[in-house]
Amino acid sequence: MAKSWEEINARIASGDAVVLTAEEFGALAAEDGVKAAAKRVDVVTTGTFGPMCSSGVVLNFGHSDPPIRMTEITLNDVPAYGGLAAVDTYLGVTETSTVRGIEYGGAHVIEDLLRGRAVRLKASSPGTDCYPRTEIDTWVTLDDLNQAYFFNPRNAYQNYAVAVNTTDRVLHTYLGTLLPRLGNATYCSAGALSPLLNDPTYRTIGIGSRIFVAGAPGYVAWEGTQHNPHTDRDEHGVPVRPAGTLAVIADLKAASPEYFSAASFTGYGVSSFVGIGVPIPVLDEDIAATLALTDADLTATIYDYGVQRRSRPSFGTVSYAGLRSGCIEVDGKRVPTGPVSSLPKARAIAAELKRWIAEERFMLAPPVQQLPQPGAPGTKPLDIRTGEAI
Amino acid sequence: MARKRLDLTFPPRQSLKPVIYHLVKDYDLVPNILRAQIHPAQEGRMVLEVTGSKEAFQAGVAFLEGQGLTVNEAASDIVLDEDRCVDCGLCTAVCKPDALTLDPVTQRLTFDKDKCVYCEACVIACPRRAITLTF
C-alpha cells in the first residue's frame, strides 16, 4: 500500500489529506493496528520545543549615509559578528550582554525583535574610502531590517541524554540544576513527538525538507553540526543516545515569539527554546511502524554529569514513559525527574503544523539530498596537539 | 492546627534570647525558617512558617512582640509569571516539596502555593526567569 510524495501532496492540495500528530497516530495505530493506520493517514506531524544553543540569525541593516563598514557590532549591548560584509551580521543566541551577563543575550535580542521592540544598534569601524563613517548609534526594529533569517546550525537533536549528578555538590548545567547524590534527573526530548525519533533513519527528512521553524515555514538546510547517525540504536532502529541533528533556515520576520523563547541557565549561560516541527509522509508501513512508537517504546541513556569529561559514565537506559512518570530508578535509588523540553509547546507545534497542512495546504518537499545515513562515520573528537606534532 | 507565614523584624539591639527555641519549647509551635538576614547591630529580618494550634500561635506572636520584634503576616511571595513560562518543567526537578509539578495529562506547570517552602530553588532554575520572590 505504498503512497508516493506526489500522491500525498495532491491530497494536501485538494484538501483531502488525513493529517494526525505523532501522538494521535500512535493512539490510532494502537487501536486499529499499524497497517490500517498507515493506509488511512497521509501525513504525521511532529514537534519539539527545547533549548537549542546552536541557533542564531543573519541580519542586514541597510546602509546609513554616509555608510559604515561595521566591524564591531552590538545589539542591546550584545556583541554580534562583524566579519561579514559592511552591514551584514550574525547574532548567535548564546552571546552574552557586556552589561547584563547571562541575564540578557543574543536570544533575548531575537525575542525582543520578534515582539516588535526596537533594539539599540551600535557599531564602529576604522573607516575606509568607500565606507567613511567610523561610528553609528541607532535603533532598529525587525521591520526596518532588509533581511532577517534564522540560520541554526544544530537543532532538533535526535534523542538526548538524561542527566544525573553523583557528586556532593549542586551542578548548574545546560540540562538545568542537578542536585547532588542523584537528587534528580533531567531529560530533554519531545519523545514520541520528536521529529527525528519519528524518522530514525532520515528517510523522509533531508536537505530541502519543508518544516516549521519558530512559527515560520522554513527548510532543512544541511545536516546539523555533530550529526552522528552512527550511534547505538534499539530494535526499532531508533537511537538511544544523541544522534542526528538538523541545520535549519527560516524567515525571522515570519516567526513568532510563541515558538521562540530566550533562556538564561544559571551557572551556564544564554540559550533559546526553539520550536521545530517536521511533517512526515506516511509512505509505507515501515515508516508507519516508527511513527506509531510511543513514549513507552522510546528510550534515552542516563549519564553522570558529575564526571566533567567528554565521555561520561552511563547508568543504562530508561523509557520516556518512565521519565514522564516523574520518578525513575538509577543505581538502585528512586530519583525524581524533570524535563527541560516543553511537551505542551511540542504538542502546540505539531497541532499548528497539522493545521498548516490541512487548512493552508502546506506542501511537503522530498529531500533534494539525503542526510548522512546510519553507518556513516560518527563525530570526531578534538585532540589537543602542538604545531610541532603536526 | 493553623499554618501561617510570619515576617519578623528584629531591632538592631535585640537581646540574644533564642526566640525560635522558645517558640518550640514554650509554645509547642513548629517553626520552619524560610529566610533570615540577621547581622550584628543592624535590623534583621526573618520569614518563618509556623504550624500549631490557634491559641499557641497567638501566644507565640505575643511572646515575640514582647521581645521587641515586629511581627507581620508575611507578604513575601513566590510569583509565577504565566506569560513568561513555557512549561519546560525544569523547576519541577528542583522543587523538593512538590509545590511545582506538571499536570500528568496536559504536562502544564501547576503551582500549589500551600506546599511551597520558599527555598527559591525554582527562582534560580527557571531559564525564563518567570519565577520571582518578592521579599
Q: Is B59 on the interface with A (CB under 8 A)?
A: no
Average pLDDT over every residue of B80-87? 96
- Across the interface, do A186 and B93 touch by the CB < 8 Å criterion? yes
What string of DSSP letters covers B12-35? TT-----HHHHHHHTT--EEEEEE
**Rounded to an integer, what distance in angstroms lies between the CA atom of residue B128 and that of residue A262?**
7
pLDDT of residue B83: 96
Which residues of A fall within a CB distance of 8 Å from B92?
326, 338-339
Closest residue on chain B to A177 (Cα): B125
Residues of chain A with pLDDT > 90, as a percent, come to 94
Which residues of B fall within a CB distance of 8 Å from A105?
none
pLDDT of residue B135: 58
pLDDT of residue A57: 98
pLDDT of residue A246: 98
pLDDT of residue A1: 66
Q: Are A302 and A174 in contact (CB under 8 A)?
A: no
What single-letter DSSP state applies at residue A224? P
Q: Are B40 and B16 in contact (CB under 8 A)?
A: no
What residues in chain A have their Cβ under 8 A from chain B's Cβ atoms? 49-51, 103, 176-177, 179, 184-186, 261-266, 271, 273, 324, 326, 336-345, 347
Domain count, chain B: 2
**Rounded to an integer, what distance in angstroms lies between the CA atom of residue B73 and that of residue B62?**
13
Partners of A68 in beta bridges: A133
Q: Are A95 and A106 in contact (CB under 8 A)?
A: yes
Active site residue A130: yes
pLDDT of residue B6: 87
Average pLDDT over every residue of A269-281? 98
Task: Choose one of B73, B103, B125: the last residue of a domain.
Answer: B73
Q: Are A177 and A75 in contact (CB under 8 A)?
A: no
In this predicted structure, the answer to whether residue A120 has a pLDDT above a threshold of 70 is yes
In this predicted structure, the answer to whether residue B2 has a pLDDT above a threshold of 80 is no
In this predicted structure, the answer to whether residue A136 has a pLDDT above a threshold of 80 is yes
Q: Is B2 on the interface with A (CB under 8 A)?
A: no
pLDDT of residue A388: 86
Please name the residue that has the C-alpha cell 533569517: A149
In this predicted structure, the answer to whether residue B133 has a pLDDT above a threshold of 90 is no
Secondary structure (3-state) at B133: strand
pLDDT of residue B37: 79
Average pLDDT over every residue of B21-42? 85
Domain containing residue B52: CATH number = 3.30.70.260
In this predicted structure, the answer to whether residue A139 has a pLDDT above a threshold of 80 is yes
- Are B18 and B52 in a shared domain? yes
Question: What residue segments make up the domains of chain A, in order of their start?
Answer: 5-52+151-359, 62-145
Q: Are B135 and B47 in contact (CB under 8 A)?
A: yes
pLDDT of residue A311: 86
Distance from CA of B94 to the nearest CA of A (A): 7
Distance from CA of B7 to the nearest CA of A (A): 28
Q: Are A247 and A58 in contact (CB under 8 A)?
A: no
pLDDT of residue B14: 63
Domain containing residue B111: CATH number = 3.30.70.20
Which residues of B fall within a CB distance of 8 Å from A49?
86, 88
In this predicted structure, the answer to whether residue B40 has a pLDDT above a threshold of 80 is no
- Are B42 and B15 in a shared domain? yes
pLDDT of residue B15: 58
Secondary structure (3-state) at A186: strand
Q: Is B89 on the interface with A (CB under 8 A)?
A: yes
Average pLDDT over every residue of A44-60? 98
Of A246-250, A338-342, B118-122, least confident by mean pLDDT is B118-122
Average pLDDT over every residue of A146-159? 98
In this predicted structure, the answer to whether residue B75 has a pLDDT above a threshold of 70 is no
Average pLDDT over every residue of A303-321? 94
**Rounded to an integer, what distance in angstroms lies between the CA atom of residue A34 and that of residue B28?**
64
- Rounded to the nearest integer, the mean pLDDT of chain A is 96
The x, y and z cell numbers of residue B90, run together, are: 525544569
Which residues of B fall within a CB distance of 8 Å from A185?
93
Q: Are A363 and A39 in contact (CB under 8 A)?
A: no
Q: How far is CA A307 from the centre of its chain?
A: 26
- Are B49 and B84 in a shared domain? no
pLDDT of residue B16: 62
Domain extent, residue B99, equals 77-134
A350-382 pLDDT per residue, tens = 999 999 999 999 999 999 999 999 887 778 888
- Are B66 and B116 in a shared domain? no
Average pLDDT over every residue of A4-30? 98
Secondary structure (3-state) at B3: strand
- Across the interface, do B90 and A264 touch by the CB < 8 Å criterion? no
For A113-142, give one letter per residue: b (16+ CB within 10 A) or e.
Answer: bbeeeebebebbbeeeeebebeebeeebeb
**Rounded to an integer, what distance in angstroms lies between the CA atom of residue A195 and that of residue A52?**
14
**Rounded to an integer, what distance in angstroms lies between the CA atom of residue A245 and that of residue A205?**
11
A163-174 pLDDT per residue, tens = 999 999 999 999
A177-232 pLDDT per residue, tens = 999 999 999 999 999 999 999 999 999 999 999 999 999 999 999 999 999 999 99
Average pLDDT over every residue of A272-283? 98
**Rounded to an integer, what distance in angstroms lies between the CA atom of residue A341 and that of residue A52?**
10
Residues ≥6 apart with Cβ < 8 Å to A336: A183, A184, A185, A326, A327, B93
- Across the interface, do A177 and B124 touch by the CB < 8 Å criterion? yes
Cα dihedral sign for A67, A71, A76, A77? negative
- Are B66 and B84 in a shared domain? no
Distance from CA of B93 to the nearest CA of A (A): 4
Neighbours of B54 (CB within 10 A): 10
- Are B129 and B111 in a shared domain? yes
Distance from CA of B35 to the nearest CA of A (A): 20
ipTM of model over 0.85: yes
Neighbours of A210 (CB within 10 A): 17
Residues ≥6 apart with Cβ < 8 Å to A69: A86, A125, A128, A130, A131
Which residues of B fall within a CB distance of 8 Å from A337?
93
Tell which B residues from 99 to 128 touch A, by Cβ distance under 8 Å.
101-102, 106-108, 121, 124-125, 127-128
Q: Are B124 and B131 in contact (CB under 8 A)?
A: no
